[in-house]
Amino acid sequence: MKIPSKIRIGGQDIVIEMPEHLPDNNLGDICVAEGKIRIAKKFSDSEQSETSITNTFIHEVVHGVLKTMGEYELNENERFVSTFASLLVDVIEEIVKVNKESCSNDKSE
């Protein structure tokens, strides 16, 4: 899945950056105040896989949504955020797939 270069959460513009590495070998982070999500291309010496990048992106979006909602306690609950994000990713990927199929159908007609 392609990661957008910017999104909006609750009317706030969020830019997505993809640096080589993040501090402490984190896969991603978000700063809502700065309007920035960062997703690491690499962790340790390995490339972050495409599915992991998608998961990381949605994970950070969930953090952003919870912060925007003022749900600070839930936001600190990494188990909740990870589970919620991974369940959401499956639905998002289905939506992307269906839209890709309808795009390629449009072209052939």
C-beta closer to Zn ion: residue 79 or 107:
79
Q: In the bound complex, what is the minimum distance in angstroms from residue 31's beta carbon to Zn ion?
A: 13
Q: In the bound complex, what is the minimum distance in angstroms from residue 97's beta carbon to Zn ion?
A: 26
C-beta closer to Zn ion: residue 81 or 89:
81
C-beta closer to Zn ion: residue 86 or 99:
86
Q: In the bound complex, what is the minimum distance in angstroms from residue 78's beta carbon to Zn ion?
A: 5
C-beta closer to Zn ion: residue 12 or 82:
82
In the block, tokens 């306690």 appear at 73
Site for Zn ion in 47-86 (CB under 5 A): 78, 81
Q: In the bound complex, what is the minimum distance in angstroms from residue 80's beta carbon to Zn ion?
A: 10
SS in 3 state form for the chain?
CCCCCEEEECCEEEEEECCCCCHHHCCEEEECCCCEEEECCEECCEECCHHHHHHHHHHHHHHHHHHHHCCHHHHHCHHHHHHHHHHHHHHHHHHHHHHHHHHHHHHHC
Kindly state the number of chain residues that form the binding site for Zn ion, as judged by CB under 5 A.
2
Question: Using an 8 Å Cβ cutoff, are 64 and 32 in contact?
Answer: yes
Chain residues binding Zn ion by CB under 5 A are 78, 81
